[in-house]
Amino acid sequence: MNVCNYLLQGKNETSPALLGLRSQHTYGELRAASASVAGFLLSAGAHKGERALLVAENSFFWVACYLGILRAGLVCVPLPPGLPAGDLAKIVAVTEPRFTFSDAKSARRAALAGVPLITDQPLPISSITLGEVQATDSIPFPEVLRDDLAALMFTSGSTGEPRGVMISHGNIIANTDSIIEYLALTPSDRIMTVLPFHYCFGTSLLHTHLRAGGSLVLDSRFMYPEVVLQRMRETGCTGFAGVPSHFQILLRKSNLRRISFPQLRYVQQAGGQLAPAFIQELRQALPGKQIFIMYGQTEATARLSYLPPECLETKLGSVGKGIPGVALSVVDENGEAVLPGQTGEIVATGDNVALGYWRDAEDSAHCFRNRKLYTGDLATVDSDGFIYIVDRAKDFLKCGGKRVSCRHLESVLLEHEELLEAAIIGVPDKILGEAAVAFVVPRDRKSSLTAEQLRNHCRRQLPPPLVPQAFVMLPSLPKNSSGKVLKSVLRAQPVLHGD
């Protein structure tokens, strides 16, 4: 059940696995490097179940260390390189790591007193480089079972405090097999990887393509989308994956429509709702390509549902149905299935559902009950069983006594072709109780778009109480390392407090 063996077994040693900007690495190199990491950890006295931090950009170093940590039976704790010092300190305190793996760029931030540091290149601080790590045959690898922990994937909970989702080896294997099945991945598939591996969506790309015997093109230059598109074409990528912000930029800030991708077979989108207007644009920009709209959570290892590409037109706005091996239901407060058109919470059952939150019994008991995941996402279901997410339970406004989805208001705004991004938050209002405020990013930095134009656009489609009270123009929306919008940062904007 060890994920490392599951991903690498039976592969052609000379086949390319990772294509970086300056180097290419085969499955044989990946196998050897991960074995060295695993052997080093065991010979250094590590024990099954102990934690190891992994703080690095996408690279051969990241993948070799990740697989080696899992091969040795340790629990990997992957973290974004730019994690604030306060959050890092909290995670260190709760995970008590025995080792830290970090690339040189992040090593000074990640270095912890008394914790051995393994880096990708020599540094003036005390550390061991990956090249100095040697495999050993004298210590046997521990047996790994289905429910043994493989990773702690940290997310921000409802309080904003980081909490670790406990992902087992069995969770990863189940979710990987399922994704490979519905995407029909083969050894000939090659994915353009702009998502970070420390994010569950990015990790799922690694898992699925290694298991399928395919390859991953690593490119962290998405701030220059034309460069990424050109590399996709040059390397013959068959797939691309992104969160909504990636597709919004590609559709309204790049030459996507004017470039042909003869090898491209499909694109996959998750990590939040891509507004229907953008989905329609994507279909027009990539005629003949499969477009997979998907839904998932870290608490489900990665993926929960997908909408078959052939249903995009008839089920626009839906996240589809459960992926193979996953059962989804939409239930009311009494746990009963809702009728078509009624709103309820999405509940998931499957071998991909995580074991709970690390050292957090209260939140675990609330979200994980009887091996079911209560997602906190509110949705409706149609007569054919297709699910339509309304919003996160915490992302609603109460305007005039009615609950209104921020996601719905954002979708209406993004139908305006001069907008690149939009985010809605609520502010106190003496009459309505809560009023909408829109943070928007124009498609063109030199745009003459005005708040009044956007207000008129909203008036044509929304009742008066739901038209945003104010429009705040920004050069970009604040996002985390995975590309998701940080509404907590928007709520702290001085403009909302009269500063």
Q: Do 3-144 and 396-496 show the same overall fold?
A: no
How high is the pLDDT of residue 109? 81
Instruction: Give me the CATH code for the 171-392 domain, please.
Output: 3.40.50.12780
Rounded CA gap, 307 and 292, in Å? 6
Q: What are phi and psi of 294, to 5 degrees?
A: -130, 165
Residue 154 in this model has a pLDDT that exceeds 60: yes
**What is the DSSP annotation of 339-392?**
PTT--EEEEEESTTS---BTT-HHHHHHHEETTEEEEEEEEEE-TT--EEEEEE
Listed range (84-88, 148-152, 299-303) with the worst mean pLDDT:
84-88
Residue 75 in this model has a pLDDT that exceeds 80: yes
How high is the pLDDT of residue 160? 60
Residue 487 in this model has a pLDDT that exceeds 50: yes
- Domain-by-domain residue ranges, the chain? 3-144, 171-392, 396-496
Name the percent of the chain lying above pLDDT 70: 96
Residue 228 in this model has a pLDDT that exceeds 90: yes
Rounded CA gap, 166 and 338, in Å? 30
How high is the pLDDT of residue 156? 66
Beta bridge partners of 239: 191, 266
The closest alpha carbon to 73, from 140, 155, 153, belongs to: 140
Residue 252 in this model has a pLDDT that exceeds 80: yes
- pLDDT: which is higher, 474 or 496: 474
Q: Which CATH superfamily is domain 396-496 in?
A: ANL, C-terminal domain (3.30.300.30)
Residue 497 in this model has a pLDDT that exceeds 60: no
Q: Tell me: domain 3-144, CATH 3.40.50.980, correct?
A: yes
Contact 459, 60 (CB under 8 A): no
Rounded CA gap, 439 and 428, in Å? 16
The closest alpha carbon to 133, from 41, 8, 55, belongs to: 41
Q: By 3-state DSSP, what share of the chain in percent is helix, strand and coil, each rounded to 5?
A: 30, 25, 40
Name the percent of the chain lying above pLDDT 90: 75
Listed range (54-58, 285-289, 467-471) with the worst mean pLDDT:
467-471
- pLDDT: which is higher, 370 or 347: 347
Summarize pLDDT for 186-203 with one digit per residue, the tens. Answer: 999 999 999 999 999 999
The encoded tokens of residue 489 equal 């940062």
Q: What are phi and psi of 267, to 5 degrees?
A: -130, 150
Residue 499 in this model has a pLDDT that exceeds 60: no
Side chain identity, residue 143: E
pTM, rounded to two decimals: 0.87
How high is the pLDDT of residue 158? 46
Rounded alpha-carbon distances, angstroms, from residue 219 to 58, 107, 195, 272, 297? 8, 21, 9, 22, 24
How high is the pLDDT of residue 496? 64
pLDDT class of 111 with cuts at 50, 70, 90: confident
